[in-house]
């Protein structure tokens, strides 16, 4: 199954995507995670991406397309994938359709995780990541276990000004993908993401018929 998770930054795509990927036994292809990995490793691609990420802007389409192409070619992704944070504009959606078409696949469903913007801003200010495992927590809603709490870090692009820019970019260029996929006749499941992690997950699994 090839599944796209849409939703604003901070809507819970990463958290829900990780749970879904495990339950569907497919990898999560998360371009943001891949870019942060590249940055940590200090690759030229990571360094190029950094200035866009720090500003809350999208990294050029060609950069993310290369990452997604590579991930899809891996053995783990032969049975499908959960796409988190990709595509983020109509051009990327077209590229993804092309990549999947080359391997005889297509998007089976889109899950749109809907969270109001004021809730997003407060979520992102409390978001913390475990640098060792990449697991994402929230200081209030999903606190890290005591042994991990001391090492969690805040993402540089979760600071307020960058969050606001990322939300504007989402509104202008990514949100139109909901209508884009609806118009393309692909099932788009809307989920109220402003609830507990397990509730959202259960609803998504139900909507997918799993």
| Residues known to be catalytic | 13, 88, 127, 155, 166
The verdict on 67 binding ligand AMP (CB under 6 A) reads no
Residues 6+ apart with CB under 8 A from 68: 29, 31, 83, 86, 95, 96, 99
H or E element, residue 5: strand 2-6
Least distance in angstroms from the C-beta of 146 to ligand AMP = 26
Q: In sequence order, what are the beta bridge partners of 84? A: 5, 30
Closest by CA to 86, choosing from 107, 71, 63, 64, is 64
Q: Which stretch binds ligand AMP (CB under 6 A): 69-77, 84-92, 98-106, 123-131?
A: 84-92
* Beta bridge partner(s), residue 110: 4, 188
Among 166, 167, 180, 181, binds ligand AMP (CB under 6 A): 166
Among 92, 95, 129, 201, binds ligand AMP (CB under 6 A): 92
Judged by the rule CB under 6 A, the positions of this chain that interact with ligand AMP are 9, 31-32, 35, 52-53, 56-59, 64, 85-86, 88, 92, 157, 166
């Amino acid at each position: 199954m090839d599944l796209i998770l849409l939703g604003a930054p901070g809507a819970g795509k990463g958290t829900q995507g990780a749970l879904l990927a495990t339950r569907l036994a497919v990898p999560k292809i998360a371009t943001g995670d891949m870019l942060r990995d590249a940055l940590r490793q200090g690759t030229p691609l990571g360094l190029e991406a950094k200035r866009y990420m720090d500003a809350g802007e999208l990294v050029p389409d060609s950069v993310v397309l290369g990452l997604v192409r590579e991930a899809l070619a891996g053995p783990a992704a032969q049975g499908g994938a959960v796409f988190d944070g990709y595509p983020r504009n109509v051009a990327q959606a077209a590229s993804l359709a092309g990549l999947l078409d080359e391997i005889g696949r297509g998007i089976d469903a889109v899950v749109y995780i809907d969270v109001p913007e004021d809730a997003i801003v407060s979520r992102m200010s409390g978001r913390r990541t475990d640098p060792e495992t990449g697991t994402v927590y929230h200081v209030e809603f999903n606190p890290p276990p005591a042994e991990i709490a001391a090492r969690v870090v805040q993402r540089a692009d979760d600071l307020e000004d960058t969050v606001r820019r990322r939300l504007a970019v989402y509104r202008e260029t990514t949100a139109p993908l909901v209508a884009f996929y609806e118009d393309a006749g692909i099932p788009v499941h809307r989920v109220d993401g402003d609830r507990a992690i397990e509730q959202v997950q259960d609803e998504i699994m139900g909507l997918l018929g799993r």
